[in-house]
Homo-oligomer: A and B are copies of this chain.
Amino acid sequence: MQLKKFNVAVVGATGVVGQEVVKILEELNFPINELRLLASERSAGKRLTFKDSELEVDILNNESFSNIDLAFFSAGGSISKKFAPIAVKAGAIVIDKSSIFRMDNHVPLIVPDVNPDNILKHNGIISNPNCSTIQLVVALKPIYDLVGISRIIVSTYQAVSGSGKDAVTELDNQTKQLISKKTPSRLVYPHQIAFNLIPHIDEFDSNAYTYEEMKLIHETKKIMRDEHLKITATAVRVPVFTGHSESVYIETKKHLNIEELKQLYLKTPGIKLVDDMANNKYPMPIMSETYDDVMIGRIRKDLAEPNGINMWIVANNLRKGAALNSVQIAQLLIR
Contact = CB atoms under 8 A, between A and B. Distances in A.
Interface of A: 151, 153, 155, 157, 172, 175-176, 179, 190-192, 195-200, 204, 207-209, 217, 230-232, 234, 236, 238-241, 245, 247, 249, 258, 277-278, 280, 282-286, 297-305, 308, 310, 312
Given A155-B155, A190-B280, A197 B304 contact: no
Nearest to A171: B195
13 contacts: A153-B249, A157-B236, A157-B238, A172-B179, A192-B286, A195-B285, A197-B240, A197-B285, A199-B284, A208-B258, A209-B300, A232-B304, A238-B238
A191 B240 CA distance: 14
Given A151-B305, A191-B280, A232-B249, A300 B208 contact: yes
| A195, A209, A217, A304: most-surrounded residue (chain B CB, <10 A) | A195
Q: Oligomeric state, in number of copies? A: 2
A237 to B, nearest CB: 10
Is chain A's interface secondary structure helix, strand, loop, or mixed overall? mixed
Nearest to A191: B284
A157 B157 CA distance: 9
Contacts of A300: 207-209
B232 A308 contact: yes
Contact of A196 (B192, B204, B240): B240
Contacts of A179: 172, 175-176, 179
Contact of A283 (B199, B232, B247, B297): B199
B151 A304 contact: yes
A172 B178 CA distance: 10
A258 B208 CA distance: 11
8 nearest A-B pairs in the assembled complex, by CB-CB distance: A155-B247, A230-B304, A208-B300, A155-B155, A204-B277, A190-B280, A234-B247, A232-B302
A200 B280 contact: yes
Nearest to A238: B238
Contacts of A197: 157, 238, 240, 245, 284-285
Given A179-B175, A232-B305, A208 B157 contact: no
A249 B297 CA distance: 21
A230 B207 CA distance: 27
